[in-house]
Chain A
Amino acid sequence: MITEEFGSGKRKTILTIILWLGFAVIVGRLYQLQYIYSAEYGKKSEENSIRKVVEEPIRGYVYDRNGKLIVDNRPSYSVMLTPIDFDKKNLLFLSQILSIPEDVLREKIKRARQYNQFMPARIKRDVDFQTLSVLEEYKEKLPGVKIQTESKRYYTTPARASHLLGYVKEISDYQLEKLGDYYQQGDVVGSVGIEAKYEKYLRGQKGFEFISQNAKGQMIGTFNNGKDDIPPKDGLDLHLAVDADVQALAESLMTNRRGAVVAVDPNNGGVIALVSSPEYDLSDFSGVTSPETWKALNDDDSKPLFNRATLTRYPPGSTFKMVLAIAALENHVIDGNFRIVCHGSFKFGNRVFMDEHVHGSVNIVEAIQKSCNVFFYQLMLKVGLDPWAAMGKEFGFGQLADIDIFEENPGLLPTTNYFNRVYGEGKWTQGYLLSLGIGQGEIGVTPLQMADYTAMLANKGHHYQPHIVDYIYNNRTHKADTIAYKKDSIQISENAWDLVREGMRRAVMSPGGTGWEARIPGIEVAGKTGTAQNPHGKSHAWFIGFAPFDHPKIAICVLVENAGYGGSFAAPIAGLCMEKYLYGEIIRTQPRLAPKVTTTISLPDTNVMHHVMLPSHIATVQKVVQPQTGFQSRRDLQH
């Protein structure tokens, strides 16, 4: 390659020519656009200016396991204001009609003007009919103010299901930044429950309409006869595993008490009911949530917004004894013939651990049936902390159950490492173990985890990921998209299953069993009661159970906070829910299924099962104390 002289005059000339050529092309093009075709473009800019207008898709519907529509959409009316057309003289008048303070309204219009003064902006969502009719009346006097029809969530069944369904609300600035390009100010977004988890499917895809407008920014018609419009794609429908009737019954049974009911299908992990009591009214969130409603919900002592089914962390009490029993059998610490004699208390060191009754000589089946604490104190010492914790882990404790809503707590399953970390090595004694042996002390579980564990006891060790949504139905392709949920199983000997499950069967079905109040006419039920001591007040009542015993179709966990004995307060609720699910209705004619003295009373406020009678103590309104709220949801962990 021959190199010419650096920066020669010839090179300067060539570069200069290239520059002139560039400018010539641009000037030529400008002349073409601004002189030759100027009139044409001028006309275009005056008449045929195209603007994109968003068309909202319809949010997906939600159905229960029987195909019953539970979340519907209903029309809702928003007041839209186009800043350029609005006469500022009307500010006070409009603020009075809409009952928005004048300065708030002024600020809203200012923001809308800054965004785009030619575009209608949403000033107030979901106005009532009275406001609508006033606006209609003064339509002529309020240029630039329009009514837009939108949709809002409407809940069709008596089931509130507030914690599992969740609500949608107007997107916050924080979410707007985090969730990305799809959303705009004023859009709604699923915020809790499945509305949040399945937001992507439910929301659908916005469409765009192309509108021609004139130089003053006024819309003059569709562009190109609407051929270029992109229609919105409606959201997908969710079909839940939930049975809306069982959900409604469980909610009504939990009325006026705090606690949770979680029922799952042990054959696939589908959540049949998930109640966190008190529930709240989702309708309060479907249009505009008033600040007063928010404040009332947030300040309520009973913490209605807190999902007790998946976030509370209580000791499970005696319902946890099966974990220890299986750990003992599987580690060959004992067998089915092993017996101890219960004198009603157990002395360890210089402390005495009490039992409720003197049970005499019991084997493992009887110990579960009668919930003998002395038996399990001794068993815990034989098994040891870590093998017990390992078995607990097999059943899903101390970890997230991975249900398909965001709000979840992993609970706490203590191990040697945990105690060493908290108390220091050598600073804790075997005495700590005894409480754990009967499900008390530092163990924390959620009702969801308990239902999950009950399902594994029911189906002999198959673990299905608990899930609310069964499948997603695509109403465009008319195809159902099933969701692949995780499943695995744990290896436990048939002998251990038989002994433990027999203990649970007898706990409900045999005389002397603690859980007899969970009985259902004509179906064998297995279960276990639990009464978790509570330093702040009355004990928490637990019951877990499944039915039918041979081929279980439902596994359930009931927690009633500060109620007392699990057998008296939680078991009857579980029995009624299982009966409703298995028969489709309540078939019993008497409130209690065992020959005991009862008082017949009517149920608390419920429109679901007005004819069903309950034991009197169940219907009593409980005086309750503060719930524990030292929780951490998965959401909190993520933030």
Chain B
Amino acid sequence: MNSFFKEYFDHTTFWTTLALIAVGLLSIYSATFDTQAGRSFEHQLLWAAMGFVLMMAALATPLRVIQRLSYVSYFVSLTLLIVVLAIGKKVYGSTSWFGIGGFGIQPSEFVKLTTLLALASYLSRNDISVGKTTDLLKACGIVLLPVGLIVLQPDFGTAITFIAMLLPVLYWAGASRFLIVALLIPPLIAVAALVSTTTFIIVLALAGITLYLLREDTFSSSLIFGVNVVIGIFVQVVYEKLPLYQQKRIATFLDPNNDPLGAGYNVIQAKVAIGSGGLFGKGYLHGTQTQLNFIPKQWTDFIFCVPGEEFGFIGAIVILALFAILLLHGIKLAHIAKNKFGSVVAIGITALFAFHIFVNIGMSLGLMPVIGIPLPFLSYGGSSLCSYMIMAGLLMNVYANRKEY
């Protein structure tokens, strides 16, 4: 029995996941026990229990069955996205929720997973190659279809996470560095063009050098370079034509300090919370920023401020270490898994986790624009917690089957 556990049970994923959920529950309790959202802790505890069952189910289901069901679940989730557009309820400005009883369910959280499974299923086929343009386009299409539907909600934050998953997966599946760079440059150029013309020119120059160094043939490099010049100029022209208040909104998105009392208020308060935590923190339930509710709804997207303020630098490092262990383990798993499907699933899940962690924490630290995406295992929210726990279960599943082809 002991050797069975050693061989097949993924202790690393299991225990880091549980530890992170525990930190999340403590933080949610601290942020909400004295407010109108006072029952959030109990709700999250219930969700965690439910998530645990789902996690074990994801571990116990044979990988082959999951692979076979991947397209079905993909199409079911596309249908759900269409339905939610038609009848869903509006929360924080986008229509992405189903109301069932007192709880809301957000299908787009689960669609991340089903899309990854469908993509993995496709990429693990032996008759395709990401080097072939048609196969590559099909792979991209699998991801872009749900992205389109989520943009319609509109929920750009979630839409971006799909792209963030696609690039590492394509890279893992064998796409050339040139291709990845070519896909990565346009969004960077667009953002740079919004910041300033100087930034645009610098980023464009860097992109040009990269494209030259990684060139496969001079023609495609020049073409991509040309396209990006056009994108940058187009973005700048459109920006100039926008009404002033929209320009201001974009400027605030890029730099919250532009609007310290409006959209930037959260970010500044988050930085104050974390910064004032110091090395050792103010003590559990004693964070003044947290307890005075300075950051609206901080138990969702700004949850990292709570341990940041109450447990300080040491606490933050412990959380980051847990995340790092999980992510590095995920990459290792993708590498050692003999099964192609399992390998792509592992790398995709790791990419999703990594993107959420870096963007969410970066946002709380004022490094990233405010995109409303949750911090895995910590943020309050049933749909996201359950879907991340299913992903953890799948990682454990890949681990258990790592030696099978």
The interface of chain A, by Cβ under 8 A from chain B, is 1-7, 9, 11-12, 15-16, 19, 22-23, 25-27, 29-31, 33-35, 37-42, 44-46, 49-52, 113-118, 208, 210, 215, 217, 228
Contacts and interface: CB of A to CB of B under 8 A. Distances in A.
A-B pairs with the 9 shortest C-beta distances? A41-B275, A3-B131, A45-B276, A34-B313, A33-B275, A38-B278, A42-B276, A215-B288, A41-B276
B340 A217 contact: no
A50 B168 contact: no
Contacts of A38: 275-279
B249 interface: no
A217 B288 CA distance: 9
Nearest to A43: B276
Contact of A50 (B130, B261, B317): B261
Report the interface size class on chain B.
35 or more
A115 B365 CA distance: 27
Contacts of A215: 288, 292
Contacts of A6: 172-174, 340, 343
A45 B131 contact: no
9 contacts: A1-B131, A6-B343, A29-B362, A34-B308, A38-B276, A44-B276, A45-B276, A45-B288, A115-B35
A54 to B, nearest CB: 14
Given A6-B172, A7-B335, A30 B313 contact: yes
Interface in B343-377: 343, 347, 354, 358, 361-362, 365, 367
A50 B327 CA distance: 38
A536 B175 CA distance: 88
Given A38-B276, A45-B288, A114-B36, A15 B131 contact: no
Contacts of B273: 45
Interface string B262-280: 0001000001111111110
Interface string B205-235: 0000000000010000000000000000000
Contact of A7 (B275, B347, B365): B347
Given A3-B131, A7-B343, A22-B358, A45 B316 contact: no
A113 B36 CA distance: 8
A49 B334 contact: no
B34 interface: yes
Given A114-B36, A228-B261, 15 more contacts: A2-B176, A3-B129, A7-B335, A12-B334, A15-B171, A19-B354, A22-B358, A25-B367, A26-B362, A30-B320, A31-B313, A33-B271, A34-B274, A34-B275, A35-B279
Nearest to B321: A23
A6 B358 CA distance: 26
B241 to A, nearest CB: 27
Contacts of B173: 6-7
B331 A16 contact: yes
A11 B171 contact: yes
B397 interface: no
Given A3-B130, A115-B36, A33 B171 contact: no
B275 A37 contact: yes
Contacts of A12: 331-332, 334-335
Interface string B17-28: 000000000000
Contact of A26 (B260, B261, B331, B358): B358
Contact of A2 (B34, B131, B278, B358): B131
Interface in B304-349: 308, 312-313, 316-317, 320, 323-324, 327-328, 331-332, 334-335, 340, 343, 347
A3 B277 CA distance: 48
A561 B130 CA distance: 85
A10 to B, nearest CB: 10
B289 interface: yes
A185 to B, nearest CB: 10
Given A7-B343, A215-B288, A30 B35 contact: no
B179 interface: yes
Nearest to B289: A45
Residue of A6, A30, A33, A37 contacting most chain B CB atoms (<10 Å): A33
B362 A1 contact: no
B283 interface: no
Given A4-B174, A114-B38, A42 B367 contact: no
A210 B327 CA distance: 42
B239 interface: no
Contacts of B168: 15
Nearest to B129: A3
B178 interface: yes
A19 B312 contact: no
